[in-house]
A and B are shown apart, each in its own frame.
Chain A
Amino acid sequence: GAGVSQSPRYKVAKRGQDVALRCDPISGHVSLFWYQQALGQGPEFLTYFQNEAQLDKSGLPSDRFFAERPEGSVSTLKIQRTQQEDSAVYLCASSLKAGVQDTQYFGPGTRLTVL
């Protein structure tokens, strides 16, 4: 695949359920980003990985949110005990290099709806 892929594309969860969202970055990309985009808003930064290292998780809204990238490629964003305010589109992006002028490539997003 040429681009960033995310799965599932749509997820409906009941309040209190745990969910796991997957991101497959472009092969060989060092940097990986997660964003949360609420309806009618711009993306808000959640966390950043450089290879397998999570260098910045300052945007994670609570300790219910957890992200990992154990082998420096695929990443999973996990949300425990989902709440209605977690409903949003979750975007993943990757870039080839780290911390330099490099283009981020975004995936199509996972739309999470918490009932």
Chain B
Amino acid sequence: GDSVTQMEGPVTLSEEAFLTINCTYTATGYPSLFWYVQYPGEGLQLLLKATKADDKGSNKGFEATYRKETTSFHLEKGSVQVSDSAVYFCALSYNFNKFYFGSGTKLNVKP
């Protein structure tokens, strides 16, 4: 079946540190891949997406590359800020009608 696996959190970093949150997927076809973010007290928001292999999604300094050969979509940011503290969810979808989410990774950034 289709599923997404994320690294467990929480991840705690100092401000300006480099961030990687690992995401791997299992898919029966060729899905689109997504990162969603949930800031404290807010709803889920789309952070970035990639719709085919080797595509790179980017937004707000975050990047993720769709790697078909390793079935991965790792989230990276070169220099995190305190305001990046949130829960990050990796997800996949084939037709944008049904999404499969990972269990989420909490990021804490300390000043």
Interface residues of A (CB under 8 A from B): 3-4, 31, 33, 35, 40-45, 48, 50, 55-56, 58-59, 91, 93, 95, 98-109
Contact = CB atoms under 8 A, between A and B. Distances in A.
A108 B104 CA distance: 17
Contacts, number: 60
Nearest to B41: A108
Contact of A40 (B51, B89, B100, B103): B103
B98 interface: yes
Interface string B36-54: 0000001111100101000
11 contacts: A33-B99, A42-B104, A45-B98, A98-B97, A99-B96, A99-B97, A101-B96, A102-B96, A106-B45, A107-B43, A108-B43
Contacts of B100: 45
A106 B99 contact: no
B interface bracket (residues with beta carbon within 8 Å of A): 20 to 34
Nearest to A98: B97
A66 B97 CA distance: 18
Contact of B97 (A4, A56, A105, A107): A56
